[in-house]
């Protein structure tokens, strides 16, 4: 297997074109609260991230996306921002942010930060003043304040429900209601108000001037609401990562915002990007966000939700590529993030349970499929997103006691939903030590006692480990010209059901999702395999749930 240098100071040689780097980039998501804790207070921080950047350089990713580290009361893990230009003291200071950006650049890594424009925290200065000034305050126009319905205004202005459960409206003691698609601590901005648009253009410049290489746009499909805030009229309301048509999501008006943002980004040098978190009913609607004068990439949640089944995977891969081709944007691929059960646990459970799962399932099966799914993902044309800890094969922590949970959706949904804490448990770096090297103290969510064995330290140098599989895969991806490039997959037809075989010049990928072994002709020399394989007599016996990368002539 290909090994990486581990010198902590050396920058990786730039083997890629500097322009359009993002088209086939592998981007690693850091959830700052749970990545590395430099001061032993149990919560991750920017200095912790800075110190661990060499891990990401050695892993071989191109960029790091940092989930929010801004000033925030943490009602929703920092996706409730009180000051968009300040770092929360629990994460450090602007100087620490500057140090992360500089050190990352020094190591050849780009930095993408999260932008949360759909809503602020209820502790944002505008909202606090809007509340304090009372009905009629001009600041209330920057959010969605409305009188209620009913004889005494005691009913919410419409029937929308919060994505975290319960009504999407909260009433203030003065009688006005305000809209929050997420928690009550996350009031939605009114994007019709010019001050809101101006403020975000200024926030973009602030972080671009700090040197960031791009933004992940939170709830990018949500800022514009249908005219008059019409009732939905019964039926199922939306869940996180849902794809239904709603009067508060995927309204055509959002695209004007992105065209305006794009002109700002394009004023800056360095090929900077936007990636949209946009939940839309179809991949074709997602493509609207990445038209040439809008954003660069959008997460592919259809792929994230796909079952481990060859036919369905192929259909989603093809429809994703087909949808992006007309607008010239790369497809993206993602299996895990901070909002869903990790894929090692999703695949350990029966298919079709959705993206928030409470049972550990068959761990060995889940890990085998997860490793195979990752190799498939990293062989596809386009850009891939990794979530911290997946390179260790971490499962979700499915048995967190309710008392330690912090996900607001868990509480809003009376414990029936909102299991996002399970993928946010601080990651293990060392075999022993307090919080397995996460920090010198504890960790804000308890880590399972088995996590030392899954740590970076335990897996480094073990050729069978998931960490070395990721390192080797990313090394091959960097060295094999064209892996990740292009906009279509050349499938081999006529392969047995449950298998996928595709090729590109000099390379082939074979995937077995059947759950049993499958014997096929060997297309070349094995480069990398997600499980041990043997080739004999020009054939390979592909074990169940295995992906193999081949060098072909």
Min dist. Cβ of residue 337 to ligand GLC (A): 7
Q: Report the b/e string of 421-442 with b at 16+ CB within 10 A.
A: bbbbbbbbbebeeebbbbbeeb
Smaller CB distance to ligand GLC: residue 277 or 390?
277
Q: How many other β-carbons are positioned within 10 Å of the β-carbon of residue 5?
A: 9
Smaller CB distance to ligand GLC: residue 219 or 542?
219
Q: How far apart are CA 298 and CA 217, in angstroms?
A: 9
Could you say which of 133, 266, 267, 462 is catalytic?
267
Structure tokens, 92: 């450090």
Smaller CB distance to ligand GLC: residue 219 or 473?
219
CB-CB contact of 457 with 437 (8 Å):
yes
Residue 376 burial class via C-beta count within 10 angstroms: exposed 0-12, middle 13-18, buried 19 and up: buried
312 is catalytic: no
Q: Which residue is nearest to ligand GLC (CB)?
A: 79
CB-CB contact of 321 with 381 (8 Å):
yes
Structure tokens, 55: 């891990």
Min dist. Cβ of residue 322 to ligand GLC (A): 26
Min dist. Cβ of residue 79 to ligand GLC (A): 3
CB-CB contact of 215 with 297 (8 Å):
no
Min dist. Cβ of residue 118 to ligand GLC (A): 7
Query: What Å distances lie between residue 157 and 138, 226, 229, 369, 492, CA to CA?
Result: 19, 14, 9, 47, 55
Q: How many other β-carbons are positioned within 10 Å of the β-carbon of residue 44?
A: 29
Smaller CB distance to ligand GLC: residue 117 or 452?
117
Q: How far apart are CA 352 and CA 346, in angstroms?
A: 9
Q: How far apart are CA 17 and CA 471, in angstroms?
A: 21
Contact residues for ligand GLC (CB under 6 A)? 76, 79, 116, 182, 218-219, 277, 338-339
Q: How many other β-carbons are positioned within 10 Å of the β-carbon of residue 130?
A: 24
Min dist. Cβ of residue 552 to ligand GLC (A): 39
Smaller CB distance to ligand GLC: residue 95 or 245?
245
Q: How many other β-carbons are positioned within 10 Å of the β-carbon of residue 169?
A: 24
Residue 135 backbone dihedrals phi, psi, to 5 degrees: -55, 140
Smaller CB distance to ligand GLC: residue 427 or 476?
427
In what helix (H) or strand (E) does residue 257 lie, and over which residues does it extend? helix 254-267
Question: Torsion angle of alpha carbons 423, 424, 426, 428, nearest 10°?
Answer: 20
Min dist. Cβ of residue 137 to ligand GLC (A): 25
CB-CB contact of 299 with 275 (8 Å):
yes
Q: How far apart are CA 189 and CA 195, in angstroms?
A: 10
Query: What's the CA angle centered on 520, arms 516 and 521, to 5 degrees?
Result: 160
Kindly give the pairing relationship between strand 110-115 and strand 214-217.
parallel
Could you say which of 80, 88, 185, 218 is catalytic?
218
Smaller CB distance to ligand GLC: residue 338 or 477?
338
457 is catalytic: no
CB-CB contact of 406 with 355 (8 Å):
no
Min dist. Cβ of residue 297 to ligand GLC (A): 15
CB-CB contact of 443 with 435 (8 Å):
yes
Min dist. Cβ of residue 445 to ligand GLC (A): 15
CB-CB contact of 476 with 527 (8 Å):
yes
Q: Which residue shows structure tokens 């991230």?
A: 49
Q: How far apart are CA 245 and CA 181, in angstroms?
A: 15
Query: What's the CA angle centered on 439, arms 437 and 440, to 5 degrees?
Result: 100
Min dist. Cβ of residue 219 to ligand GLC (A): 5
Give catalytic residues, as residue numbers.
Answer: 218, 267
């Amino acid at each position: 297997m290909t090994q990486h240098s581990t010198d902590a100071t050396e920058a990786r040689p730039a083997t890629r074109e500097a322009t359009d780097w993002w088209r086939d980039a592998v981007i690693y998501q850091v959830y700052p609260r749970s990545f590395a804790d430099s001061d032993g207070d149990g919560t991750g921080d920017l200095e912790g991230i800075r110190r661990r950047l060499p891990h990401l350089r050695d892993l071989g990713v191109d960029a790091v996306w940092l989930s929010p580290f801004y000033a925030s009361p943490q009602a929703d893990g920092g996706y409730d921002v009180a000051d968009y230009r300040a770092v929360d003291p629990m994460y450090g200071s602007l100087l620490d942010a500057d140090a992360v950006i500089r050190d990352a650049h020094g190591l050849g890594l780009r930095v993408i930060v999260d932008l949360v424009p759909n809503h602020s925290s209820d502790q944002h200065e505008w909202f606090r003043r809007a509340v304090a000034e009372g009905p009629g305050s001009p600041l209330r126009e920057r959010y969605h304040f409305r009188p209620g319905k009913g004889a005494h205004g005691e009913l919410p202005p419409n029937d929308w429900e919060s994505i975290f459960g319960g009504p999407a409206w909260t009433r203030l003691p003065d009688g006005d209601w305000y809209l929050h698609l997420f928690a009550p601590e996350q009031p939605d901005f009114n994007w019709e108000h010019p001050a809101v648009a101006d403020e975000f253009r200024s926030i973009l410049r602030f972080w671009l001037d700090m040197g960031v290489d791009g933004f992940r746009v939170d709830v990018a499909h949500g800022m514009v609401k249908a005219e008059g805030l019409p009732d939905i009229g019964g039926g199922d309301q939306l869940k996180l990562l849902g794809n239904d048509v709603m009067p508060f999501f995927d309204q055509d008006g959002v695209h004007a915002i992105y065209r305006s943002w794009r002109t700002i980004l394009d004023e800056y040098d360095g090929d900077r990007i936007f990636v949209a978190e946009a939940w839309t009913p179809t991949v074709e609607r997602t493509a609207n966000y990445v038209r040439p004068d809008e954003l660069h990439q959008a997460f592919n949640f259809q792929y994230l939700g796909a079952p481990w089944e060859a036919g369905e995977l192929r259909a989603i891969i093809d429809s994703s590529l087909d949808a992006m081709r007309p607008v010239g944007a790369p497809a993206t691929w993602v299996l895990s993030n901070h909002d869903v059960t990790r894929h090692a646990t999703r695949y350990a459970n029966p298919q079709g349970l959705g993206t928030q799962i409470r049972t550990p399932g068959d761990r060995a099966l889940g890990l085998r499929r997860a490793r195979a799914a990752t190799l498939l993902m990293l062989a596809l044309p386009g850009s891939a997103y990794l979530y911290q800890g997946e390179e260790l094969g971490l499962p979700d922590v499915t048995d967190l006691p309710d008392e330690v949970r912090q996900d607001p959706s868990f509480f809003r949904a009376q414990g029936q939903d909102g299991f996002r804490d399970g993928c946010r448990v601080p990651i293990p770096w060392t075999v022993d030590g307090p919080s397995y090297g996460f920090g010198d103290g504890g960790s804000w969510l308890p880590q399972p006692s088995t996590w030392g064995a899954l740590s970076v330290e335990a897996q480094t140098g073990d050729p069978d480990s998931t960490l070395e599989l990721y390192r080797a895969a990313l090394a091959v991806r960097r060295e094999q010209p064209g892996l990740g490039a292009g906009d279509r997959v050349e499938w081999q037809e006529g392969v047995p059901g449950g298998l996928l075989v595709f090729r590109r010049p000099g390379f082939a990928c074979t995937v077995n999702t059947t759950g049993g072994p499958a014997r096929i002709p060997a297309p070349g020399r094995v480069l990398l395999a997600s499980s041990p394989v043997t080739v004999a007599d020009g054939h390979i016996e592909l074990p169940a749930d295995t992906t193999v990368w081949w060098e072909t002539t």
